[in-house]
Every structure is written in structure tokens, then in C-alpha cells.
Amino acid sequence: MDDDWDLHAVVRGCAAVTTTSTDTTTTTTANNPFPSFSSTPNFHEVHQDSFDFPGLIDDRNDPFQGLQEIYQEFCLDAPPPATSSSGVDTATVPVPAVQVFQPHREIAQIQPPLLQMNMQTQESIQFKNPTLASPSHHSFPAANPQPIRQRRRKNQQMKMVRQMTQEELSADSWAWRKYGQKPIKGSPYPRNYYRCSTSKGCAARKQVERSPNDPGIFVVSYTGEHTHPRPAHRSSLAGSTRSKFSAASKSNNIESYALLFQKGSVSSSSTASGSTFSPCSPLMEGEAAAQNDDVEMAEEDDGGGDEDDENVIVIPNDLMNDDEDMFKGFQDSDHSSGGGDLFSSGLLSSPPWTPTSSSAKASNFNGGGGS
């Protein structure tokens, strides 16, 4: 197919784009493959009763901060705090499983290292990034350079799952490369596998699949962590190929973004179109067939599908509003250095989540591409 949407762009969309317009977001961190969290009362409501994470959710004004910190530990090279605020080793803190499903909302299912330490088989937890394995805090084995397949117990993998829309998918500033696609039992839509293409040894992985509940929603799972800083510029590798948006990308207005989305929508009916930033195109490829078969999920438990029920933290959509700050970053770096994202890379000149462009939404994205 010649009109495939650019995969990179697609997968780049891990950054959240939500409707929020306030300043409740936190910033994404350099190596953090996951979107940062924002703090909202909602989170408190949902989780405070469900968890008891010393140092994670506490009395701080920003209940999310703790979570974010833990996340950062997971994703960043920065050494994590040794203990929780209460002095209790976080590794020993019981972690009840919680899942909250909110259709049409983003969901984060988190398995941060600290929380995971008390899971059954600790030895199975590994970080490929040496710097992540902070010996004093985590008893993770040192990164093993061992190249071949590194498989952890499936239910032990640290994973962050999030539901997002097409446009949100498009906001991912990381460069991803697709390395596989598999039909998932029980789901009409295939799952697409991506790895970070910025750095060869980067262990960051991303899975994207369409939500069986709502084809307009994409379930994105992040595993592993980046072993390199967030690309300052969209590297030549980053989605450089298959890009057919040169024209649109050169324009410096929001319309170009909207246009791109329109393109996506138009093409989606037949093939997905060659749009560079189409967040979900890869998904659609396989989906097309599935959709034709009539999505017939006898009973989908949830969008999360077979996510591990245990050891999972689900974060409501509202809490995941990192887009704003993230976007700030885009803008900041964009104008000057190019900022390593769709915009800086020239794929987009304006953020998709601006009021203007927001109208050109993910709704366009249904339908699916070819193959």
C-alpha cells in the first residue's frame, strides 16, 4: 500500500491531548516514555480509597505528584527516592489491583517498579536500562546486555496502558518503529507493536490497538523505558520515511493540521493514506478486515482487554492531561530548535489540541486502512 499513514506519526501520539485548558498538568520528562500525569481531584476520588501508596498518594496538594515521581523512576535515569515519605520501603507496600474503566477516557494502568517489587516474582523484574536499576532502591538485576529475547512473565511486565484518541496519538514526540502486528484473540482489532527507533538499544516499547468498545479510542500500552533523552529534534529517522505531508507540513498554521486530519479521514475509507502524522494508521491496516467482519465482541469485559488485572493502576482520563505542558514543551523548543515532535519536525506547524484544531478530531480517524 502506498498510502499508508506514517507510522511514526501515529505512534508518536502517546502524549495526551485532552480537552482541559487549565494548568493542571505536569511536564513530561526527558526519558519518560509515558505521558506525565496531571493532578485532578478525580484521581483522588478514584484512587485514594483504593490505594495506600506511601509516597505515592499522600497529603500533598498534588496527589499525582507522587505517582509521577514513581513513574519517573520507572522511566528516567534519575535515581528514585529511597523510601516513601513514611519511611516505609515502597517495595513492601501492598499494591491492590484496581481497574477503573471509563469509556472514552484515557486509562493508565501502571506498574511502576516500586510498586511491582512486591509482586510475586521479583526476580523477573528487569530493567534493560542500567541507570534505572538503582541498586539502593530497587533490587532489579543490573541491566543485562544480553541481546536476544528478553521475556518477562507477561503479568510481571511493567506496563502503562492508556486510552487515547487519534489526535492524542499524534502528539507523541518519540520516534517509534513498528516491528510487529498481531491479531488479538477476543478483539476484532489487531495489536501493533512499536519500539523506539531513536536509539538502537532503547528498550521502550509501545503497543497500540483499537478499543473494542470504541473504535475511536486507541489503547496504547507502554513498556520499557527510553535509554536516551527525548529527541530534541525529530531525527531524520523519526518518521522521515513514508511522509507525504511535505506540503502541509510547510505551512505554518493550524489548518495544516486540520487538513492532515481530514486527509486521514478521507483516506481511511479505503486506505489509509499516507499521512505522515496519522496516529493510528498502522492500526487501521489490520483493522479494516476486522471491521468488515462486524465487530462482534460477545462481551468485551473492557477496553483494556487482557491487561493484567493485578498490579495495575488505572488512571482516569482527566488525570492524564499532560498534553498541555507537553505542548508547552513543543512550543518552547519548537520555535527555536525544532523541538522533537510533529511540529518541530515540520509535520505539523501547530498543536493539534489547540481550540481550533481540536475540532478536526479523532472522529475522522475511524475507518481503516488497507492491507
Binding interface with DNA (CB under 7 A): 1-2, 4, 6-8, 148-149, 151-156, 175-186, 191, 193, 195, 197, 205, 207, 223, 236-244, 274, 282, 285-286, 306, 371
Minimum Å gap between C-beta 96 and DNA is 18
Minimum Å gap between C-beta 127 and DNA is 14
Based on CB atoms, which residue is closest to DNA, 244 or 328?
244
Minimum Å gap between C-beta 63 and DNA is 29
Based on CB atoms, which residue is closest to DNA, 52 or 310?
310
Return the residue matching grid coordinates 507477561: 154
- CA nearest to 6, candidates 195, 310, 260: 260
CB–CB of 319/64 below 8 Å? yes
Minimum Å gap between C-beta 39 and DNA is 30
- CA nearest to 181, candidates 167, 196, 166, 192: 192
C-alpha to C-alpha distance for 197 and 178, rounded to whole angstroms: 9
Based on CB atoms, which residue is closest to DNA, 102 or 240?
240
Minimum Å gap between C-beta 321 and DNA is 26
C-alpha to C-alpha distance for 357 and 242, rounded to whole angstroms: 23
Three-state DSSP state, 223: strand
Based on CB atoms, which residue is closest to DNA, 167 or 307?
307
Q: Residue 274 contacts by C-beta under 8 Å, 6 or more apart in sequence?
A: 2, 3, 4, 5, 6, 242, 244, 245, 267
Based on CB atoms, which residue is closest to DNA, 32 or 197?
197
C-alpha to C-alpha distance for 344 and 333, rounded to whole angstroms: 8
